[in-house]
Amino acid sequence: MADFDLIILDFDGTFTDVDAEAVPFLDHYRRGLEALAGRPIDEAWAEAVEEVRREPDAHGFRFETRIVAPSHADPYILSSCVSQLVLEGLGMPIELGHLETLFHDSYRHADTVFRPDARDVVEALLSLGVPVHVVSNSRTDNVVAKLERLDASLLSRMEVRGNARKFHLVDPEGSDARFDSLPESRAVEGLTRPLYLRRGRYYDVLRSLWDATGASPERTLVCGDIYELDLALPAALGASVHLVGRETTPAWEREAASADRGAFSTELRGVLDRV
């Protein structure tokens, strides 16, 4: 009998080497932000990057006024965090919708650099005979296009759900007791700010998968590369989690992921030890 009835995988950073693939993304993103600002931003960008590096916990990607993802989690989030600081410094309003559009437009230019074990790990997970789903903040068509380069046959055996909006601190569509029981936030040792849990759009996706498959949170494994975005909510709901990080993954993320029913590895194949 399989240990889990449902396996959910994040995509960017989980399947891929984000540092390598984000190089062309960053070029397009910075040019798009400059167009949005209507003036040169090189100096403001450099200053914002330095500010984030000095105090990483004091900054991050924000939903409205609250930090919802670590500033240094990956180049994609760093660019979003820095862009908010740049616009603030220029005295311009931060329109979340505009930044989301800029992100998605720039993401189309990102390279595709898979972790070397990506295909073999997915094949091994699919061989377990339980549903495997990819749930990503990126748009579905962008993720599908990248997976076609890895192995198009994978797409007939697992579902991809994009635009998950794991960073939206809102109520879900049609709340329920399971979500309502969650605290607004939790304290994490080593992190000097609260970690917010009530991410309703992400919950909508998780709940729809549990409803569709008949799986429960307790029989679900969720794998991702950013604890706060990918794993904190499902862990709070009772799911098992696995953090696939990098050498630069902060200690607090490693420790939070390893608590209770979680684990950490720097290679994607580490998740196979869980199944």
- More confident call, 62 vs 159: 159
Among left, alpha and beta (phi > 0; psi -120 to 50; other), residue 210 is alpha
pLDDT in tens, 203-262: 999 999 999 999 999 999 999 999 999 999 999 999 999 999 988 899 999 999 998 789
Among 208, 197, 140, residue whose Cα is nearest residue 174: 208
* 130 confidence band (pLDDT: 50, 70, 90): very high
- Please provide the distance, in angstroms rounded to a whole number, between the alpha carbons at the two ends of the chain: 10
Quote the percentage of the chain above a pLDDT of 90.
77
Over residues 159-170, the mean pLDDT reads 96
Enclosing H/E stretch for 263 = strand 262-265
pLDDT in tens, 52-93: 989 988 888 888 889 999 988 889 889 988 998 999 888 887
Q: Which residues pair with 185 in a beta bridge?
A: 196
* pLDDT for position 185: 97
Set out the domains of the chain in order of their start, with CATH numbers: 6-16+112-274 (3.40.50.1000), 19-107 (no CATH)
DSSP 3-state of 229: helix
Indicate the SS3 state at residue 196: strand
pLDDT attached to residue 99: 84
Task: Give the per-residue pLDDT at 270.
Answer: 96
Point out the least confidently predicted range of 31-40, 118-127, 193-202.
31-40
Beta bridge partners of 132: 7
141-161 b/e (C-beta count within 10 Å ≥ 16 → b): ebbeebbeebeeebeeebebe
Whether residue 17 has pLDDT greater than 80 = yes
d(CA 76, CA 225): 13
| pLDDT for residue 2 is more than 70 | no
| pTM beyond 0.85 | yes
The DSSP line for 111-148 is ---B-TTHHHHHHHHHTTTS-EEEE-SS-HHHHHHHHH
Q: Is residue 179 predicted with pLDDT exceeding 70?
A: yes
